[in-house]
Amino acid sequence: MNQINRRQFLVTAVLSALGVACTASPQKSTPITNTATRVVALEWEYVEDLLALGMQPVGVADIPGYQQFVQIEPTLAETVIDVGTRQEPSLEAIAQLQPDLILGVELRHQPIYDTLSAIAPTLLFNPYPAADESTQLERMQQTFLEIADAVNRRPQGEAVLNQMQETFNQASNQLQESHLTTPRFILGQFVPGVPQLRLFTDDAMAVQILSQIGLENAWIGEFDRFGFNTVWVEALPAVDKGNFLYIAENQNTHFKQLQKNPVWQNLQFVQENRLYPIGSDTWVFGGPLSAQVLVENVVSAF
Q: What is the pLDDT of residue 5?
A: 42
Within this chain, do residues 184 and 156 fall inside the same structural domain, yes or no?
A: no
Within this chain, do residues 27 and 153 fall inside the same structural domain, yes or no?
A: yes
Q: What is the pLDDT of residue 31?
A: 59
Within this chain, do residues 265 and 220 fall inside the same structural domain, yes or no?
A: yes
Total domains, the chain: 2
Q: What is the pLDDT of residue 33?
A: 60
Within this chain, do residues 35 and 102 fall inside the same structural domain, yes or no?
A: yes
Residue 257 falls inside a structural domain: yes
113-134 pLDDT, tens digit per residue, is 999 999 999 999 999 998 888 9
Within this chain, do residues 129 and 265 fall inside the same structural domain, yes or no?
A: no
157-181 pLDDT, tens digit per residue, is 999 999 999 999 999 999 999 888 8
In CATH, what number is assigned to the domain containing residue 187?
3.40.50.1980
pLDDT of residue 1 exceeding 50, the answer is no
- pTM of the prediction? 0.87
Residue 7 falls inside a structural domain: yes
pLDDT of residue 17 exceeding 70, the answer is no
Residue 173 falls inside a structural domain: no
Q: Residue 74, preceding bond cis, omega within 30 degrees?
A: yes
Within this chain, do residues 24 and 154 fall inside the same structural domain, yes or no?
A: yes
Within this chain, do residues 14 and 149 fall inside the same structural domain, yes or no?
A: yes
Q: What is the pLDDT of residue 261?
A: 94
- Quick one: what percent of the chain has pLDDT higher than 70? 89
Strand, helix or coil for residue 135:
coil
Element (H, E) at 35: none
Domain boundary among 127, 161, 195: 161
Domain of residue 18: give its range.
2-161
Within this chain, do residues 146 and 21 fall inside the same structural domain, yes or no?
A: yes
Within this chain, do residues 7 and 131 fall inside the same structural domain, yes or no?
A: yes
Within this chain, do residues 108 and 219 fall inside the same structural domain, yes or no?
A: no
H helices of the chain, in order, are 2-20, 44-52, 63-69, 91-96, 106-109, 113-119, 136-150, 154-178, 205-212, 253-258, 262-265, 268-271, 288-301
Within this chain, do residues 22 and 152 fall inside the same structural domain, yes or no?
A: yes
Within this chain, do residues 144 and 199 fall inside the same structural domain, yes or no?
A: no
Residue 127 falls inside a structural domain: yes
Residue 166 falls inside a structural domain: no
Residue 174 falls inside a structural domain: no
User: Residue 216 corresponds to which amino acid?
Assistant: E
Residue bearing the bigger pLDDT, 104 or 195? 104
pLDDT of residue 4 exceeding 50, the answer is no
pLDDT of residue 18 exceeding 70, the answer is no
Q: What is the pLDDT of residue 256?
A: 87
Region 236-245 average pLDDT: 96
Residue 246 falls inside a structural domain: yes
Question: Residue 82's closest CA among 35, 41, 136, 45?
Answer: 41
Burial of 271 (0-12, 13-18, 19+ CB in 10 A): exposed
Taking the C-alpha atoms of residue 299 and residue 288, their distance in angstroms, rounded to an integer, is: 17
Q: What is the pLDDT of residue 254?
A: 87
Domain boundary among 161, 193, 209: 161
Element (H, E) at 124: strand 122-125
Residue 169 falls inside a structural domain: no
Region 75-85 average pLDDT: 97
